[in-house]
Amino acid sequence: MHLIVDANIPAADACFGAFGRITRIPGREITRAHLDNADVLIVRSVTPVNEALLADTPVRFVGTCTIGTDHIDRDYLTAQGIGFASAPGCNAEAVADYVLAALLGQAEREGRPLLERCVGIVGAGSVGRRVQARLEGLGVDVAVCDPPRAAREGSAGFVSLEALIARCDVLCLHTPLVRKGPYATRHLLDAGRIAALRPGTWVLNAGRGDCIDGDALYRRLDGPGDITALLDVWENEPGIDAALHARAALATPHIAGYSLDGKLRGSLMIHRALAAHQKVAGTLTLDDICPPAALAELTLGRIMPVEDALRLCVRAVYDTRRDHDLLARRANKSGMAAGFDACRAHYPLRRELATLTVRLTGEARALAGPLAAAGCNVEASPAA
Ligand SMILES: NC(=O)C1=CN([C@@H]2O[C@H](COP(=O)(O)OP(=O)(O)OC[C@H]3O[C@@H](n4cnc5c(N)ncnc54)[C@H](O)[C@@H]3O)[C@@H](O)[C@H]2O)C=CC1
Ligand SMILES: O=C(O)C(=O)[C@H](O)COP(=O)(O)O
């Protein structure tokens, strides 16, 4: 069996080597010609998988080691009887870490706590639910807009996007890119909704770039300049709009989900799906392919505001400014598109917050409840 595998997929040999011969190709460079004698195609989000790529090839199984599936023409795969699997939820923890790190960082920069702000979550699936739980655990006032869920579950607990915009200080977008239908998300934040944002609002997008009208966002940032953009995803990646990039307070190259843990979980889920497709046992576990974290634990022994304590813990594993600076440097050196992809291809090691054990001693034990609810793996020492 011959497998074409995106070069940006970690542990490819461990996960797919037993199935056959692997050829690794950068995802944006995979073409129809590479698939002439391929049986399996394993991608991430940057390879459009459709009739143009697959017609008249022997490919019988496609896997994407990502949550998002907007790059896949699933109707075409179904019509051709080609097996398909994605990796729902694989890097949702990493994205939630990114959001916490970004919001805590911005709050510190502005000198006003996150706890005093109302955060609106648009799209409360695997990622949005985690962000909601962590922020509520910290004590933040949260509002949620998710019309598909509201239609299924009843409207209690959900608000409209207009109500959320009117009420919230922070908007976090975690919607998939859906191009048509009653819940389409392309330009969900359009010019009208961007104009309606209250001065001082932060807009964070870690879903898909096309969910925001980038030109309209740029006009608001460049004109009144009274809102703040924290952007991980962009229209036209990797050749993103340099002017919008320059105006964003946080500008990262679509890496919110790029923890080692999240990427390996994605590889592993597709390993299992391919094994099921081939009717063999997929026996690998995350422990087989994921090394222990270098920073295993830290100890807090003094009481402090819970937001400061959480910022300390989150920063011990990840600081979004590192990735902001990385993109700025690489874009400056190699141009935007090449710099954007270079950051992703050579992404520095990052582990998830849950890999860190936070030991609480003495008076700091009072922080156990909120820190655990905000996503920390807490161990409180018994009272002396
Ligand atoms: N920046 C990054 O590195 C990453 C980005 N993503 C993106 O985040 C998206 C969300 O991921 P998950 O939460 O795992 O997906 P999910 O499918 O679990 O949840 C998506 C949620 O959005 C809701 N939704 C759909 N249309 C909506 C609309 N018009 N308005 C409001 N809500 C709507 C759905 O009902 C669902 O609850 C992915 O589809 C992917 O595009 C995912 C992982 C990493
Ligand atoms: O899982 C998803 O959906 C994502 O957006 C991925 O984290 C994107 O990863 P790449 O495809 O850009 O490597």
Q: How far is the first Cα of the chain from the last one, in angstroms, to the nearest whole number?
A: 62
Q: Is 279 exposed, middle or buried (0-12, 13-18, 19+ CB in 10 A)?
A: exposed
Q: How many CA atoms lie within 13 A of 34 on its CB side?
A: 20
pLDDT in the model for residue 382? 82
Residue whose pair of structure tokens reads 């915009």 in the numeric block:
165
Nearest to 260 by CA among 17, 3, 65, 64: 65
Task: Please give the helix or strand (H or E) that residue 24 lies within, else none.
Answer: strand 21-25
> From the CA of 173, how far away is ligand 1's center (Å)?
8
Question: CB of 42 closer than 6 A to ligand 2?
Answer: no
> What is the chain's mean pLDDT, rounded?
97
Q: Is 232 annotated as a binding residue?
A: yes
Atom of ligand 2 nearest to the CA of 44: 11
- Residues with pLDDT less than 70, the chain: 384
Q: How far apart are CA 368 and CA 384, in angstroms?
A: 16
Annotated active-site residue 363? The verdict is no
pLDDT in the model for residue 138? 94
pLDDT in the model for residue 151? 98
Cα distances (Å, whole numbers) of residue 107 to 110, 170, 202, 307, 336: 5, 11, 10, 10, 28
Phi-psi region for residue 14, left (φ > 0), alpha (ψ -120 to 50) or beta?
A: alpha
Q: How many CA atoms lie within 13 A of 245 on its CB side?
A: 27
| DSSP state for residue 217 in the 8-state scheme | H
Give the tens place of pLDDT for each residue, 85-119: 999 999 999 999 999 999 999 999 999 999 999 99
Q: Which of 162, 175, 260 to mutate to test the pocket of ligand 1 (most atoms within 8 A of CB)?
A: 175
Nearest to 142 by CA among 180, 88, 99: 99
Give the pTM. Answer: 0.98
Question: CB of 259 closer than 6 A to ligand 2?
Answer: no
Give the tens place of pLDDT for each residue, 141-151: 999 999 999 99
